[in-house]
Structure formats: structure tokens, C-alpha cells
Amino acid sequence: MIDHIRNNLVEARDALDRLISDDAQLGNIQAGANLLVDALGSGHRVISCGNGGSMCDAMHLAEELSGRFREDRPAMAAVAISDPSYISCVANDYGYEQVFARFVEGNGAAGDVLFAISTSGSSRSVILAAQAARAKGMKVIGLTGRPGAALAESSDVCICTSAGRYADRVQELHIKVIHILIELVERTLQPANYVVKP
């Protein structure tokens, strides 16, 4: 059992090491942070979406931006598409594939950012949301775990944390990327929070 635990941690470490050495993906993380800064700094907002564990990550992004990350600062405009009454309504009336796209159609605006998460990069509901966002003049940041995934085609920036065949390893890297993005946003828009205090 101890060997199994150790092997899991080594596998996770190796996946993180691959991301650390991937200059293209590090550049995509920086480009994604720039899109978030541009939107939030000019009075626009971030809408996030995903299915299952990716919905949890979408909610985490939104609550850290609108709530608090490390230090106190003004709230930032961010919301995750996660209201169960809304989702069940749209799924019932239009089909599950439309649950995120319909929200973007009704609530998104030019200048906003859609943060679209799919570990496979092929989730139809997430791809349709990205397409709806582009049609509204929004920017799209895709977060995936498969190189060349379909979501990349509808994203202005696509961050891919390739980490093996299972979603759990991908999601472990996704939350790291999300925390880095939030920190980069804060460092730009709230630099006083990162001044070392004597």
C-alpha cells in the first residue's frame, strides 16, 4: 500500500515536472492571465464553466476572484455556471449540451472572458459555450488535458496540461494553473497585495 501511495505521488510529480518544462504552455498561462487582466481591469467579468470536477474548478476560480484569494482586496466580477435550477431547466428544455451556451448567450457581453474547462477538450457542452462566447465578442480561455483538443479551435488561448490517460492527474494540474492565474491577476491589478511587508 505504501508503494502505491508513493507511486501516485511520483506520477503526480512527473506530470508537474513536464508542465514546468513546457515553455509553450507556460506562455499560454501568461497569455490567459493577460486576457483576464484586460477584462477585469476594464470593468468586464469572467464566466467559467465545466462538467463534473471541472465544474468544481470553474466554481473555485469564480469564488477566488469574487471573494478572496490570499489577502483582502476589492471583489472581482466572476461567476461560474453552476446553478442547479438553471442547469436542469435548460437541460430539460434544450438538451444538456446547451446548458453553458445558453447562459453565455443571455449573460455574456463583448469584453467578458469565458473560462472553459474540459479535461478531454472535447466536451460538447463546453465547446458550444466557447462558440457562443466568440459570437458575443467575448474572449475564450480553454483549459484542457489533451493536446490538439477540439476546444482549442474555439479558444483565443488554450492551456493544455497533458498528464496521462486519467482525468484526475489533469485536474491536479488544472487547479495549480487556476491558482497561478489568480495570482497573476492580483499581482497586476492589486500589486500592493504582493509588496513584502517589513
Does CATH number 3.40.50.10490 belong to domain 2-191? yes
pLDDT per position as a tens digit, 56-94? 999 999 999 999 999 999 999 999 999 999 999 999 999
| H or E segment to which residue 103 belongs | helix 99-107
Question: Which residue type is seen at 151?
Answer: L
Distances (CA, A) of 47 to 2, 15, 21, 91, 109: 41, 28, 29, 19, 10
pLDDT per position as a tens digit, 22-63? 999 999 999 999 999 999 999 999 999 999 999 999 999 999
